[in-house]
A and B are shown apart, each in its own frame.
Chain A
Amino acid sequence: MSDTTEKLVGIVLVSHSAAVAASVAELAKGLAGGGTTAPVAPAGGTPDGGLGTSAELIAAAAAAVDQGAGIAVLTDLGSAVLTVKALLAEGDELPDGARLVDAPFVEGAVAAVVTASAGADLDAVEAAAAEAYSYRKT
């Protein structure tokens, strides 16, 4: 029996593209398998639907997945990375326990969601996502 009151680490996926963020979220949840999956929220593109990064969408996604167990934020590149860092530096823009995780976007997201869904803590989720860098393909 899973404990339905267990707090899970939340995952926020920040991409320049709304479609990429949403698709990677769907992929990661799908690969995490059945049962309870950790809360995952995409924060892709700009509020008007363009390519870019939105601090507003990131803050909303973080609030949506926050169960109090910490939040792993994964990003694609450039302004996505810098915006999350700037929000974290501000202190009150993202929930307590939000952390930028250094990981490849797709593989890291899958590892993070699978690990978080198993009830792991934020350090373990971060480690699993970062470890995805070491899965060589040739």
Chain B
Amino acid sequence: MLDVDFFRRWMTATAVSVDREAQRLTDLDSPIGDADHGSNLQRGFNSVRAALEKEAPATPGAVLVLAGRQLISTVGGASGPLYGSLLRKTGKELGDAAEVTEEQLALALRAGVDAVMALGGASPGDKTMIDALVPAVDALSESFAAAKAAADEGAVATTPLQARKGRASYLGERSIGHQDPGATSSALLIGALVEAAGE
């Protein structure tokens, strides 16, 4: 069973990963974006970390809803409402349960990914965070490690794709050959599940 501490560790581990990889995310965002993905997410997840310490939400769902709200409020770029909606929807799906199973998390996260697709209008293959999140959620029923591997693979697989959503889509064919920064940060979020579980 996954308790509230697991979800706090998940968010904290994501914040640590984003801190560590911020420069890389911004570098990936330079040729096809506006070179702010790393710093935007860093600001967002640091604010998540601070809010979790201050408010100490009592349930897994409440942790994710609070985290989502912080991201929408503080990121300042499109990744704010997208990651914010992902976590908020996932948190709402988990409801008030004090502990949830890995299967429940997988189902809730799938609903969260659906919310991201509805908000941003992206589908698999558009060279977005969806390309890491969808395979990760598909693999989540197997294990967190399998989900991490699938997310990493999905992020790398965005390199040959042409962007069809967001600012990168204005570049047309010139977006080909660059790994998508959003898919890369999504893989960090999924990878943090493994760290939170201590696997």
Contact = CB atoms under 8 A, between A and B. Distances in A.
A79 interface: yes
B81 interface: yes
Interface residues of B, number: 20
Contacts of B78: 78-79, 82
Contact of A86 (B36, B84, B166, B167): B84
4 smallest CB-CB distances across A and B, nearest first, come from A52-B76, A86-B81, A79-B78, A82-B81
A89 interface: yes
B76 A86 contact: no
A53 B88 contact: no
Given A55-B72, A78-B166, A78-B167, A86 B85 contact: yes
A83 B80 contact: yes
B82 interface: yes
Interface of A: 46, 50-56, 78-79, 82-83, 85-87, 89-90
A52 B88 CA distance: 21
A132 to B, nearest CB: 22
Nearest to A77: B167
Interface of B: 34, 36, 40, 69, 72-73, 76-82, 84-85, 88, 119-120, 166-167
A46 B74 CA distance: 9
17 contacts: A46-B76, A56-B73, A78-B77, A78-B78, A78-B166, A79-B76, A79-B77, A79-B78, A79-B79, A82-B119, A83-B80, A85-B81, A86-B72, A86-B80, A86-B84, A87-B72, A89-B85
Nearest to A80: B78
Nearest to A54: B76
A55, A83, A86: which has the most chain B beta carbons within 10 Å?
Answer: A86
Given A82-B119, A82-B120, A89-B85, A53 B80 contact: yes
Contacts of A87: 72
Contacts of A78: 77-78, 166-167
Nearest to B167: A78
Nearest to A47: B76
B77 to A, nearest CB: 5
Given A78-B78, A90-B88, 20 more contacts: A46-B76, A51-B34, A52-B36, A55-B72, A55-B73, A55-B80, A56-B73, A78-B77, A79-B78, A79-B79, A79-B80, A79-B81, A82-B78, A83-B72, A85-B119, A86-B72, A86-B81, A86-B119, A89-B119, A90-B69
